[in-house]
Structure 1
Amino acid sequence: MTPLWMDVCLIVFLATVVSVGSTQAHVRVKRKPGDRPKPGQCLTFNKGGTSGFHYYACCNNINGTDKSCDGRTYQRASTTSYCNSGGTDNGNGVIKAEFACGGCPGQGIVAKKCKPMKIFNIPGTCWLFTKCFKKYCKKRYSVQSSGLNMQVVDPSSTSMPDTCYNTVCETGETPDNCPVDCCFKMNPSQCTWVTNGTCIPEFCDTPSCSESGGTGLFSAKHTSNIGGLVLGLVILSLYMHEYE
């Protein structure tokens, strides 16, 4: 029979491993009013705006040769401005990603590319535009030089077809290279486009959209369950030693 302290140490060790393994890859950082992207970069935000649930993007182009889009808010289904000069965040949103996007010309091209069909362009918390904006910006403009973005293909995103994010799973698109359009083939109960304009869940933009609801093995729900299991093991171990 092992001593009590050894059992407790083992359980604590297992709990630590589980905690490390369940750490989310992307940690959301609350932006302070007045923060802005680095020169030549863009930031996407969520949980901001007047509703507290809006998705939008701001870009810093004040050091570029073309400043025509300075202060423009890149978003869908809203006309409210949440970006001030230099991409300064005025919507008090939560940062999601930072990336280059080719200055005003590149941002304009990508914004036009990601403009949704009218039937899906509804107010609300839809994340589709900012996800599309980020992915196509990173695909087309991933190198920054002297404050200006140079056009270059990002090797990590070349597999995404240019037809992606148009709400139709077309020839050449699969749940792996364009999950946002095709994941309904793997998870039809949650990732199917509907005619009433309701946005599909955000996990439908990941290739794992059919696995555990698309949240992965260590989702917040799973982490909570594992934490409860570890706590139960600790209590059980103490109880058994008390009556031995």
Structure 2
Amino acid sequence: MTPLWWNIGLTVVYAIFVSVGSSQVHVRVKRKPGDRPKPGQCLSFNRGGTSKVHFYACCNNVNDTDKSCDGRTYQRGSSTSYCGSGGADKGKGVIRAEFACGGCPGQGSVANKCKPIPIFDLPGTCWLFTKCFKKYCKKRYSAQSSGLNMQVVDPSSTSMPDTCYNTVCDPGETTANCPVDCCFKLNPSKCTWVTNGTCIPEYCDTPSCSVNGAVGLTVTKDASSIGVLVLGVLALFLYV
């Protein structure tokens, strides 16, 4: 018969492994209503808005000389305003990233760059616009200081071609530097711009181009479940 101390110790170890194995690496921080980006910065959100699944971005330009875009919501697929003065979040979304975007002139330029053609300007395409907005803002203005509208190139994002997000896998674009346009080459049944007239799945904007490789979507959960199952069987075997 197994000693009591051994059973207790094994139970403690098992509980620790379960706790560690089930923890999520990619933690999303939920902002309180009214929170806003730092001056000169923007925040992108998801799981917000009236639908609780909407993607959008808010920017804080209150310290800039040009405040013409104060309170503007950068989004597609919706006309509801989710940003207040200074970029205050009114959509109760979950923060995705913080970045600079050149003040009102830069934000307007990037928003026009990311504006989809009418056929793709559908309610389900909001995540495409927001990711495009974030990536081009980072590419052009990520090293920018508050209040400055000069263009500053971020070395970490210059590999993304300027033609990215135009719905075509152009020469020079690959699944690594522009997956949103090229993932259909690796996953043609899912990652295409013309499936039933709707947008491609969100994981098609990751270099893996596969739902099984989309960081933070399924891998962590699946690995945790397997780890818990294996540990449970092991504990039961040792106990018996």
TM-score by length of 1: 0.86
Change (3 A) 1:93 1:125: farther
Q: Deviations over 1:126-183 (max 9, x none)?
A: 4101100000000000123254354211111110000101111111100011011101
Shift of 1:212: 2.5
Tell me, which stretches of 5 or more residues in structure 2 are unaligned? none
1:33-61 Cα offsets, whole Å, 9 max, x none, are 11010000000111111111111100000
Aligned residue identity for 1:164: C
> What do you get for the CA RMSD once the two structures are aligned?
2.6
SS of 1:196's equivalent?
Answer: coil
The CA distance in 2 between the partners of 1:194 and 1:82, in whole Å, is: 29
Deviation at 1:232, TM superposition (A): 2.0
Which residue number corresponds to residue 235 of structure 2?
234
Query: 2:203·2:210 contact (CA, 8 Å) conserved in 1?
Result: no
In 2, distance between residues paired with 1:49 and 1:10?
Answer: 42
Measured after TM superposition, the shift of residue 17 of structure 1 is 9.8
State the distance in 2 between where 1:90 and 1:39 align: 17
> Between Structure 1 and Structure 2, which shows a larger proportion of strand residues?
1
Counterpart amino acid of residue 236 in structure 2: I
| Deviates most, 35-44 or 120-129 | 120-129
Q: Distance in 1 between matches of 2:206 and 2:168?
A: 16
Q: Is the Cα contact below 8 Å between 1:59 and 1:87 reproduced in 2?
A: yes
Give the count of matched residue pairs. Answer: 236
* 1:106 lines up with 2:89 in the alignment: no
| 1:8 aligned onto 2:10 | yes
| More off after superposition, 120-129 vs 4-13 | 4-13
- The reply on whether 1:49 has 2:49 as its aligned counterpart is yes
Q: Residue type of the partner of 1:127?
A: W
Which residue in the other structure is 1:95 paired with? 95
Bigger shift: 140-149 or 35-44? 140-149
Structure 2 residue matching 1:223: 3-state secondary structure? helix
Name structure 1 gaps, 5 residues minimum.
240-244
Identify if the C-alpha distance between structure 1 residues 135 and 19 changes in structure 2 by more than 3 Å, giving closer, same or farther: same
Aligned-residue identity in percent: 70
SS at match of 1:58: strand
Within 5 A, what are the aligned runs for 1:1-244?
Answer: 4=6, 8=10, 12=14, 15=17, 19=21, 23-24=24-25, 26-124=26-124, 126-210=126-210, 212-215=212-215, 218-239=219-240
TM-score (norm 2): 0.88
Moved over 6 A (4+): none
Q: Which structure ranks higher in relative contact order (CA pairs < 8 Å, sequence separation ≥ 6)?
A: 2
Amino acid at match of 1:223: S
